[in-house]
Amino acid sequence: MKKSKVGLIFGGKSAEHSVSLLSAKSVWENLDKERYEPFLIYIDRAGEWCLTSNTGFKEEEYKKEKFHSFIPWSSDWVGVMDADIYFPMLHGPNGEDGRIQGLFEMAGKPFVGAGSFSSQLAMDKVVSKLLFAQAGLKQAPFLHFSENIHEQIVELVEKKLGYPVFVKPCSLGSSVGIRKAKDRDELLSAVDLAFAYDVKIVIEKAVAMRELEISVMGNDELMISAPGELLPSREFYDYADKYLDGKTQFRIPVQLGDKIEAQVRKTAHKAYRTLFLNGYARVDLFLEKESDEILVNEINTIPGFTTISMFPKLWQAQGIGFSQLLDRLIDYGFDHFARRKENLDAGIGR
């Protein structure tokens, strides 16, 4: 059987560069080398694309290497970095926001994960929240701002939300730039931090809730995992807890009762479809403690793939191992590319 050549792309210019290296390491180690011929494309923090054989996945090691930098699909690229399918493991801006997916689509190349349009919708917390609301999905009360005007922000937050609140950059993941604010001083500090990362921010009412995550994958037909629950060691599941301290505990799967679990799965399915997703994603939900209402938090189209990440762990709990999971995701990528090509050839694609 001919092996498929897989270009694993990682690193990137975003604040989630280090997380990308951890995820790429897990993907590399679990790709079936009997079925695939993977190679590594590292993007440094300056945006240089480099072919590397270094499987250490440590930024300090890549900094020491003398790379030959490539421009995608230039004359130098073809034959050296050309692949049957690309597997972007780039978290955050320039990786998860539709830009690299648009590059693949324009080049006519298959890739793993959601398309450019859907990726952009999911990455933008403001747009996705507005779409969720239009679809009738419940969420925590929120406001969004594109100007850092302290007086206006304080007035609206205190009038419409009250404390405590979560302040988030609009288009980042891995809890980068997120803070919980319990009073006016903390709010202003959190707002300044969030605007340091993005030109738009979201401020959400902090509700008494349980944090649930569900893994979803598929194109036309979807597979939806049982939900898992996060039990953060801090007030919320922040960057340090996710990738440094590792003190968060998980319930995988979590027992919610048949009725609530069915509602959770239905909500995850609807949220995935609302953003026109394909391939795979992790859907993050809240379960209100008093009412048992299910609230949509956000969707990650390139969720963490580290050894402790929820997306692969939820599938492992249902008997789908890491290598088998990667097989499925690559197959979904080939399938979506073939369907999109058929539609474009027929003049009906977008």
Based on the fold, state whether residues 223 and 324 are members of the same structural domain. yes
Based on the fold, state whether residues 190 and 225 are members of the same structural domain. no
Task: Indicate which CATH number applies to the domain containing 154.
Answer: 3.30.1490.20
Q: What is the pLDDT of residue 177?
A: 84
Q: Report residue 57's pLDDT band, with 50, 70 and 90 as the boundaries.
A: very high
Q: Is residue 155 part of a domain?
A: yes
Parent domain of 38: 4-111
Residues 159-177, mean pLDDT to the nearest whole number: 86
Based on the fold, state whether residues 333 and 271 are members of the same structural domain. yes
Q: What is the pLDDT of residue 233?
A: 67
Q: What is the pLDDT of residue 35?
A: 97
Mean pLDDT of the chain: 91
Based on the fold, state whether residues 213 and 330 are members of the same structural domain. yes
pLDDT at 237 over 70: no
Based on the fold, state whether residues 77 and 179 are members of the same structural domain. no
Q: What is the pLDDT of residue 134?
A: 97
Least reliable range by pLDDT among 90-94, 163-167, 216-220, 331-335 = 90-94
Q: Is residue 107 part of a domain?
A: yes
Higher-pLDDT residue of 235 and 329 is 329
Are residues 310 and 321 in contact, defined by beta-carbon separation less than 8 angstroms?
no
Higher-pLDDT residue of 280 and 253 is 280
Residues 162-179, mean pLDDT to the nearest whole number: 85
Residues 164-182, mean pLDDT to the nearest whole number: 85
Q: Is residue 234 part of a domain?
A: yes
Task: Indicate which CATH number applies to the domain containing 99.
Answer: 3.40.50.20
Based on the fold, state whether residues 212 and 309 are members of the same structural domain. yes
Are residues 300 and 331 in contact, defined by beta-carbon separation less than 8 angstroms?
no
pLDDT at 243 over 60: no
Based on the fold, state whether residues 278 and 169 are members of the same structural domain. no
For the chain, first and last CA: distance in Å?
Answer: 34
pLDDT at 297 over 80: yes
Residues 215-239, mean pLDDT to the nearest whole number: 84
User: What is the phi-psi region of residue 136: left when phi exceeds 0, alpha when psi lies from -120 to 50, beta otherwise?
Assistant: left
Q: What is the pLDDT of residue 78?
A: 81
Task: Indicate which CATH number applies to the domain containing 272.
Answer: 3.30.470.20
As a whole number of angstroms, the distance between CA 99 and CA 206 comes to: 32
Query: How many domains would you assign to the chain?
Result: 3
Are residues 18 and 60 in contact, defined by beta-carbon separation less than 8 angstroms?
no
Q: What is the pLDDT of residue 273?
A: 98
Last residue of a domain, one of 190, 205, 220: 205
pLDDT at 236 over 60: no
Q: Is residue 347 part of a domain?
A: no
Q: Is residue 116 part of a domain?
A: no
Higher-pLDDT residue of 44 and 347 is 44
Based on the fold, state whether residues 312 and 215 are members of the same structural domain. yes
Last residue of a domain, one of 174, 205, 236: 205
Percentage of the chain beyond pLDDT 90 is: 77
With a CB cutoff of 8 Å and minimum separation 6, the contacts of 310 are 213, 215, 228, 230, 250, 252, 282, 303, 304
Based on the fold, state whether residues 29 and 85 are members of the same structural domain. yes
pLDDT at 230 over 70: yes
Higher-pLDDT residue of 154 and 349 is 154
Based on the fold, state whether residues 327 and 220 are members of the same structural domain. yes
Q: What is the pLDDT of residue 246?
A: 61
Based on the fold, state whether residues 174 and 294 are members of the same structural domain. no
Based on the fold, state whether residues 188 and 228 are members of the same structural domain. no
Q: Is residue 252 part of a domain?
A: yes
Q: What is the pLDDT of residue 63?
A: 87
pTM, full prediction: 0.90
With a CB cutoff of 8 Å and minimum separation 6, the contacts of 231 are 248, 249, 250, 251
Q: Report residue 91's pLDDT band, with 50, 70 and 90 as the boundaries.
A: very high
Q: What is the pLDDT of residue 303?
A: 94
Least reliable range by pLDDT among 28-32, 194-198, 281-285 = 194-198
Q: Is residue 125 part of a domain?
A: no
CA distances from 304 to 130, 140, 263 (A): 25, 24, 25
What percentage of the chain's residues is helix, strand, coil (to nearest 5)? Answer: 35, 25, 40
Q: Is residue 311 part of a domain?
A: yes
